[in-house]
Amino acid sequence: MSVLPTEQGMNTAKVQTDVYDEKYEVDLDSGTSDYVGNQERPSFYADGAKYWEGIEPTIEGMLGGFAQLSDIDVGASRRFLKEFCEKRQHPTGTLRALDCGSGIGRVTKMMLSHIFNEVDMLEQNQQFLDKADDYLGECRHKVGRKICSGLQSFIPDPQRPYDVIWVQWVTGHLTDTDFVEFLRNAANGLRENGLICVKDNLSSCSVEMDNKDSSVTRPRSLVLEIFRKANLRLVGERKQIRFPKGLYEVKMFALKPKKTEVALSE
């Protein structure tokens, strides 16, 4: 799937080519693809974890050889998020955020810590979390908890709600079923008027499987169907701009639980 297969993981931008390991058509009626049936769930997650164990805990490692895109990426994310935290009639709060698939804390340091009073980091690779303080430097005091867990196993603490749950370049490491379940659990961990933001690569029309890092790239149609199944409402969508040609399209999606939207409209 990538022209730089030894350097790139799902936790990054990816080059889009006509070369990929497997391609699966999406059944829009059911909202699912058949790749899960061709990949046993335990090995799907174990292979992904093993891949990241071999990645250096650096920005270059986190972005799979695309460290030069970090400022562009973060700038767009910050502008997108501030629309909800600053410019709405009912702005999203800024007390606490969760950085999902945080790695060593790139998004935490460069974006979330500048908006929120406190940021929790969720990352399945303990090595990355262990290196986080060194990378975070002066902003490490903004980090509340470092949670070592995969998204498929994460259950938010009901006593520790989040205003924003930021999920970037990591959903491709979830099966469709676990993606839906993660979003449902995440929604239960939101403070009133809270927001889930998903930022990820999108394929053109089919699910594309990368066996090297055990990840998938989904088309927008399937991603939207997953949001629907998780009982989430799309309240914002924006395309990442200024990325080099040849990369997958990257989009940001802002989501709220449907019940929250009903309450706000009453």
Tell me: is residue 168 an annotated ligand-binding position. yes
Nearest Cα to Cα of residue 12 among 79, 120, 125, 103: 103
Mean pLDDT for each consecutive 10-residue tract of the chain (266 residues)? 33 56 55 53 93 98 96 98 92 98 99 99 98 98 99 98 99 96 98 98 94 94 97 98 96 90 36
Q: Do β-strands 22-24 and 207-210 pair in parallel, antiparallel, or remain unpaired?
A: antiparallel
Q: Give yes or no for a contact between 31 and 225, defined as CB atoms under 8 angstroms apart.
A: yes
Rounded to 5 degrees, φ, ψ at 189 are -100, 10
DSSP tag of 217: E
Q: What is the pLDDT of residue 87?
A: 81
Tell me: is residue 54 an annotated ligand-binding position. no
Nearest Cα to Cα of residue 115 among 130, 131, 100, 99: 99
Q: Give yes or no for a contact between 138 and 110, defined as CB atoms under 8 angstroms apart.
A: no
Nearest Cα to Cα of residue 82 among 142, 139, 162, 164: 164
Tell me: is residue 240 an annotated ligand-binding position. no
Tell me: is residue 106 an annotated ligand-binding position. yes
Q: What is the pLDDT of residue 16?
A: 61
Q: What is the pLDDT of residue 263?
A: 37
Instruction: Determine the Cα angle at 251 with ends 246 and 253, to 5°.
Output: 170
- pTM of the predicted structure, to 2 decimals: 0.89
CA 105 to chain centre: 13
Q: What is the pLDDT of residue 41?
A: 86
Q: What is the pLDDT of residue 40?
A: 76
Q: How far apart are CA 200 and CA 197, in angstroms?
A: 10
Burial 66-96 (b: 16+ CB within 10 A, else e): beebbebbbebbbebbbebbeeeeeebbbeb
Q: Give yes or no for a contact between 21 and 35, defined as CB atoms under 8 angstroms apart.
A: no
Q: Give yes or no for a contact between 74 and 107, defined as CB atoms under 8 angstroms apart.
A: yes
Tell me: is residue 151 an annotated ligand-binding position. yes
Q: How far apart are CA 10 and CA 169, in angstroms?
A: 6
* Domains in the chain with CATH codes: 22-265 (3.40.50.150)
